[in-house]
Protein backbone atom coordinates (compact mmCIF):
# COMPACT_ATOMS: atom_id res chain seq x y z
CA UNK A 1 0.00 0.00 0.00
CA UNK A 2 2.66 2.51 1.11
CA UNK A 3 0.92 5.88 0.94
CA UNK A 4 2.73 9.23 0.98
CA UNK A 5 4.56 10.05 4.21
CA UNK A 6 1.98 12.12 6.17
CA UNK A 7 -1.10 10.15 5.20
CA UNK A 8 0.81 6.91 5.73
CA UNK A 9 1.72 7.89 9.28
CA UNK A 10 -1.83 9.00 10.04
CA UNK A 11 -3.27 5.80 8.60
CA UNK A 12 -0.75 3.74 10.53
CA UNK A 13 -1.61 5.53 13.80
CA UNK A 14 -5.35 5.11 13.24
CA UNK A 15 -5.04 1.40 12.50
CA UNK A 16 -2.65 0.76 15.40
CA UNK A 17 -4.92 2.59 17.85
CA UNK A 18 -7.91 0.63 16.57
CA UNK A 19 -6.00 -2.64 16.90
CA UNK A 20 -4.97 -1.74 20.45
CA UNK A 21 -8.55 -0.94 21.43
CA UNK A 22 -9.71 -4.23 19.93
CA UNK A 23 -7.16 -6.06 22.10
CA UNK A 24 -8.53 -4.29 25.17
CA UNK A 25 -12.08 -5.12 24.07
CA UNK A 26 -11.03 -8.75 23.57
CA UNK A 27 -10.07 -8.97 27.25
CA UNK A 28 -13.53 -7.70 28.28
CA UNK A 29 -15.56 -10.01 26.02
CA UNK A 30 -16.28 -13.71 25.92
CA UNK A 31 -17.27 -16.23 23.27
CA UNK A 32 -17.99 -14.99 19.77
CA UNK A 33 -17.50 -11.34 20.67
CA UNK A 34 -14.00 -12.18 21.92
CA UNK A 35 -13.13 -13.94 18.65
CA UNK A 36 -14.49 -11.02 16.63
CA UNK A 37 -12.42 -8.53 18.67
CA UNK A 38 -9.31 -10.69 18.17
CA UNK A 39 -9.87 -10.80 14.41
CA UNK A 40 -10.35 -7.05 14.34
CA UNK A 41 -7.15 -6.53 16.37
CA UNK A 42 -5.21 -8.66 13.87
CA UNK A 43 -6.70 -6.65 11.02
CA UNK A 44 -5.91 -3.32 12.70
CA UNK A 45 -2.28 -4.19 13.40
CA UNK A 46 -1.85 -5.75 9.94
CA UNK A 47 -3.21 -2.64 8.28
CA UNK A 48 -0.99 -0.45 10.47
CA UNK A 49 2.09 -2.39 9.41
CA UNK A 50 1.05 -2.22 5.78
CA UNK A 51 0.57 1.58 5.99
CA UNK A 52 4.16 2.35 7.04
CA UNK A 53 5.47 4.85 4.46
CA UNK A 54 7.85 3.23 1.93
CA UNK A 55 10.34 6.06 2.31
CA UNK A 56 10.88 4.98 5.90
CA UNK A 57 10.91 1.23 5.48
CA UNK A 58 10.96 -0.91 2.36
CA UNK A 59 10.43 -4.55 3.19
CA UNK A 60 11.64 -7.49 1.09
CA UNK A 61 9.07 -9.12 -1.20
CA UNK A 62 9.02 -12.36 0.84
CA UNK A 63 7.58 -10.32 3.74
CA UNK A 64 4.37 -9.83 1.76
CA UNK A 65 4.11 -13.58 1.21
CA UNK A 66 4.15 -14.00 5.00
CA UNK A 67 1.35 -11.40 5.22
CA UNK A 68 -0.68 -13.34 2.67
CA UNK A 69 -0.19 -16.60 4.58
CA UNK A 70 -1.19 -15.03 7.92
CA UNK A 71 -4.35 -13.52 6.45
CA UNK A 72 -5.14 -16.73 4.55
CA UNK A 73 -5.09 -18.54 7.90
CA UNK A 74 -7.33 -15.82 9.36
CA UNK A 75 -9.66 -16.24 6.37
CA UNK A 76 -9.92 -19.97 7.04
CA UNK A 77 -10.73 -19.20 10.67
CA UNK A 78 -13.41 -16.73 9.55
CA UNK A 79 -14.94 -19.35 7.26
CA UNK A 80 -15.23 -21.82 10.13
CA UNK A 81 -16.69 -19.13 12.43
CA UNK A 82 -19.29 -17.98 9.88
CA UNK A 83 -21.57 -20.83 10.92
CA UNK A 84 -22.23 -19.21 14.29
CA UNK A 85 -21.82 -15.48 13.63
CA UNK A 86 -22.71 -13.64 10.45
CA UNK A 87 -20.21 -10.85 11.21
CA UNK A 88 -17.38 -13.22 10.26
CA UNK A 89 -18.40 -12.79 6.62
CA UNK A 90 -17.04 -9.27 6.93
CA UNK A 91 -13.86 -10.64 8.52
CA UNK A 92 -13.49 -13.00 5.55
CA UNK A 93 -13.82 -10.14 3.05
CA UNK A 94 -11.30 -8.11 5.06
CA UNK A 95 -8.84 -11.00 5.03
CA UNK A 96 -9.29 -11.41 1.29
CA UNK A 97 -8.63 -7.69 0.82
CA UNK A 98 -5.43 -7.97 2.87
CA UNK A 99 -4.32 -11.00 0.83
CA UNK A 100 -5.04 -9.07 -2.38
CA UNK A 101 -3.01 -6.06 -1.25
CA UNK A 102 -0.15 -8.24 0.03
CA UNK A 103 -0.03 -10.06 -3.31
CA UNK A 104 0.05 -6.72 -5.12
CA UNK A 105 2.89 -5.52 -2.90
CA UNK A 106 4.85 -8.75 -3.40
CA UNK A 107 4.43 -8.46 -7.15
CA UNK A 108 5.70 -4.88 -7.18
CA UNK A 109 8.70 -5.51 -4.95
CA UNK A 110 7.16 -3.43 -2.16
CA UNK A 111 6.87 -0.24 -4.20
CA UNK A 112 3.69 1.67 -4.92
CA UNK A 113 1.39 -0.52 -7.00
CA UNK A 114 -0.42 0.56 -10.14
CA UNK A 115 -3.34 -1.47 -11.42
CA UNK A 116 -1.51 -2.30 -14.63
CA UNK A 117 1.09 -4.18 -12.60
CA UNK A 118 -1.37 -6.26 -10.60
CA UNK A 119 -3.82 -7.01 -13.39
CA UNK A 120 -6.74 -7.11 -10.91
CA UNK A 121 -8.58 -3.79 -11.09
CA UNK A 122 -11.93 -5.62 -11.06
CA UNK A 123 -11.13 -7.27 -7.72
CA UNK A 124 -9.91 -3.97 -6.29
CA UNK A 125 -13.10 -2.27 -7.47
CA UNK A 126 -15.30 -5.02 -5.99
CA UNK A 127 -13.52 -4.74 -2.64
CA UNK A 128 -13.78 -0.96 -2.76
CA UNK A 129 -17.53 -1.12 -3.43
CA UNK A 130 -18.00 -3.62 -0.58
CA UNK A 131 -16.07 -1.50 1.93
CA UNK A 132 -17.80 1.71 0.79
CA UNK A 133 -21.16 0.05 1.46
CA UNK A 134 -19.92 -1.29 4.79
CA UNK A 135 -18.71 2.16 5.87
CA UNK A 136 -22.01 3.77 4.91
CA UNK A 137 -24.06 1.11 6.71
CA UNK A 138 -21.89 1.27 9.83
CA UNK A 139 -21.95 5.06 9.83
CA UNK A 140 -25.75 5.03 9.65
CA UNK A 141 -25.87 2.65 12.61
CA UNK A 142 -23.82 5.17 14.60
CA UNK A 143 -26.09 8.10 13.75
CA UNK A 144 -28.19 9.14 16.73
CA UNK A 145 -31.89 8.37 16.56
CA UNK A 146 -34.11 10.91 18.30
CA UNK A 147 -36.12 9.48 21.20
CA UNK A 148 -39.91 9.83 21.05
CA UNK A 149 -41.32 12.71 23.08
CA UNK A 150 -41.90 11.77 26.71
CA UNK A 151 -39.76 8.60 26.52
CA UNK A 152 -37.66 7.90 29.60
CA UNK A 153 -33.93 8.45 29.28
CA UNK A 154 -31.68 5.53 28.48
CA UNK A 155 -29.07 4.49 31.01
CA UNK A 156 -25.61 5.87 30.40
CA UNK A 157 -23.15 3.05 29.60
CA UNK A 158 -19.89 2.80 31.49
CA UNK A 159 -16.92 4.46 29.88
CA UNK A 160 -15.58 2.58 26.84
CA UNK A 161 -18.02 -0.31 27.08
CA UNK A 162 -20.72 0.72 24.63
CA UNK A 163 -21.33 -1.17 21.41
CA UNK A 164 -21.06 2.12 19.55
CA UNK A 165 -17.33 2.27 20.34
CA UNK A 166 -16.85 -1.13 18.69
CA UNK A 167 -18.84 0.15 15.70
CA UNK A 168 -16.65 3.26 15.58
CA UNK A 169 -13.56 1.03 15.45
CA UNK A 170 -15.08 -1.01 12.63
CA UNK A 171 -15.95 2.21 10.84
CA UNK A 172 -12.39 3.53 11.15
CA UNK A 173 -10.92 0.26 9.87
CA UNK A 174 -13.38 0.29 6.97
CA UNK A 175 -12.33 3.83 6.09
CA UNK A 176 -8.67 2.83 6.36
CA UNK A 177 -9.30 -0.12 4.06
CA UNK A 178 -10.92 2.22 1.53
CA UNK A 179 -7.85 4.46 1.65
CA UNK A 180 -5.53 1.48 1.22
CA UNK A 181 -7.55 0.14 -1.71
CA UNK A 182 -7.47 3.56 -3.38
CA UNK A 183 -3.69 3.63 -3.27
CA UNK A 184 -3.10 -0.04 -4.13
pLDDT tens digit sequence for 139-158: 898 887 776 666 665 555 44
Distance, in Å, from the CA atom of 166 to the CA atom of 160, rounded to the nearest integer, reads: 9
Residue 7 and residue 84: Cα distance in Å, rounded? 37
- What is the structure's pLDDT at 113? 41
Whether pLDDT at 108 is above 90: no
Judge contact between 49 and 77, C-beta under 8 A.
no
Listed in sequence order, the residues at least 6 apart from 29 whose beta carbon sits closer than 8 Å to its beta carbon are: 36, 37
Residues 6+ apart with CB under 8 A from 48: 11, 12, 13, 14, 15, 16, 19
Per-residue confidence band for 128, with pLDDT thresholds at 50, 70 and 90: very high
39 pLDDT above the threshold of 90 = no
Q: With bands split at pLDDT 50, 70 and 90, how would you rate the model's confidence at 2?
A: very low
Pick the range with the lowest mean pLDDT from 42-46, 65-69, 70-74, 116-120: 116-120
Number of H helices, E strands in the chain: 7, 0
The residue among 122, 97, 113 whose CA lies nearest residue 46 is: 97
In this predicted structure, the answer to whether residue 110 has a pLDDT above a threshold of 80 is: no
Determine the Cα–Cα distance for residues 183 and 101; give it in Å rounded to an integer.
10
Query: pTM here?
Result: 0.79
**What is the chain's mean pLDDT, rounded?**
81
Amino acid sequence: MHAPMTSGWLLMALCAATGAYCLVRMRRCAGGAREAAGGEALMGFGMAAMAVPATLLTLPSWHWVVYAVVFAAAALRAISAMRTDRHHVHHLVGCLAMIHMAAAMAGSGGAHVSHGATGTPVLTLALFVYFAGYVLRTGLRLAPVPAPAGAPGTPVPTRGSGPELALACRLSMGLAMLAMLLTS
